C-alpha cells in the first residue's frame, strides 16, 4: 500500500511522517469516534533508507500482507476469543460443574473475559514488535511539488 506524507522529524534510521487519511477512511468515522477528533492527519514512524529530511514530501510503502496480519490480530482474534469463551462455557464448563438453569450471562461473561485476556496478550505482543522493521512502513521516494496553473513562470 502506498501513502504520501510530510517528514516532520528525522530520527536517523527512521522518520516521523505526517500522513493524511484517505477520503474513504474519513467517511468511516471510526478513528474520529475512537480518538474524539476529526483530524485527517496521522503521525507514523517509518524506516528512512533514503535519508529524507524534515519538510520533504515522501512516498511510503507498506507490505500488504503485514497490514492484513495486523488487522486480523486486532479484529478477528478477539472476536474468535469471545465466541470461544461462550462456547467453552456452554459445552464444557457448565456441564462439568453440573450448573443448571440459564447460563447465558455467565457464558457471555466468560467470552468477554477471554476476549480481554486476548487483548492483554495482543498488547504485550505489540510492545514487543513495535520496533521491528518488518512492521514499519518504508520511505521509498520523494514527491516533487508540481507548480500550480496559477503560478507565474520564472
41 and 74 part of one domain: no
Position of cell 533508507? 49
Is residue 147 domain-resident? no
Residue 4's pLDDT is what?
Answer: 87
Residue 25's pLDDT is what?
Answer: 57
104 and 52 part of one domain: no
Is residue 152 domain-resident? no
Paired residues of 14 in beta bridges: 47
> How many structural domains compose the chain?
2
Residue 67's pLDDT is what?
Answer: 84
In whole angstroms, give the CA distance from residue 113 to residue 123.
Answer: 15
**Would the pTM of this model clear 0.85, i.e. be above it?**
no
Is residue 153 domain-resident? no
51 and 76 part of one domain: no
Is residue 10 domain-resident? yes
Q: Could you tell me the CA-to-CA distances from 81 to 66, 77, 124 in Å, in that order?
A: 21, 6, 17
DSSP state of 47: E
110 and 72 part of one domain: yes
CATH number at residue 46: 2.40.50
Residue 134's pLDDT is what?
Answer: 86
In whole angstroms, give the CA distance from residue 101 to residue 75.
Answer: 32
Position of cell 456441564? 95
Nearest alpha carbon to residue 81 among 120, 122, 111: 111
55 and 77 part of one domain: no
74 and 57 part of one domain: no
Is residue 148 domain-resident? no
Looking at the chain, how many residues does it have? Answer: 154
Cell of 83: 465466541
Chain centroid to CA 153: how far?
A: 44
Number of H helices, E strands in the chain: 6, 5
Which residue range(s) make up the domain with 12?
2-62+137-142
Is residue 24 domain-resident? yes
Mean pLDDT per 10-residue run, the chain (154 residues)? 90 88 54 51 89 92 88 94 97 92 94 97 90 87 67 47
Residue 12's pLDDT is what?
Answer: 84
Residue 109's pLDDT is what?
Answer: 97
Amino acid at each position: 500500500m502506498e501513502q504520501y506524507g510530510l517528514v516532520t522529524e528525522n530520527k536517523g534510521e527512521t522518520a516521523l511522517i505526517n500522513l493524511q487519511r484517505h477520503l474513504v477512511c474519513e467517511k468511516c468515522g471510526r478513528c474520529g469516534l475512537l480518538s474524539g477528533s476529526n483530524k485527517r492527519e496521522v503521525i507514523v514512524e517509518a524506516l528512512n533508507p533514503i535519508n529524507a529530511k524534515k519538510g520533504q514530501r515522501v512516498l511510503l510503502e507498506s507490505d500488504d500482507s503485514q497490514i492484513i496480519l495486523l488487522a486480523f490480530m486486532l479484529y478477528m482474534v478477539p472476536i474468535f476469543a469471545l465466541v470461544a469463551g461462550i462456547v467453552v462455557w456452554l459445552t464444557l464448563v457448565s456441564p462439568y460443574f453440573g450448573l443448571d438453569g440459564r447460563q447465558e450471562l455467565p457464558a457471555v461473561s466468560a467470552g468477554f473475559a477471554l476476549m480481554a485476556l486476548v487483548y492483554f496478550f495482543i498488547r504485550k505482543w505489540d510492545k514487543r514488535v513495535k520496533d521491528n522493521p518488518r512492521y514499519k512502513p518504508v520511505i521509498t521516494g520523494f514527491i516533487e511539488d508540481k507548480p500550480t496553473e496559477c503560478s507565474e513562470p520564472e
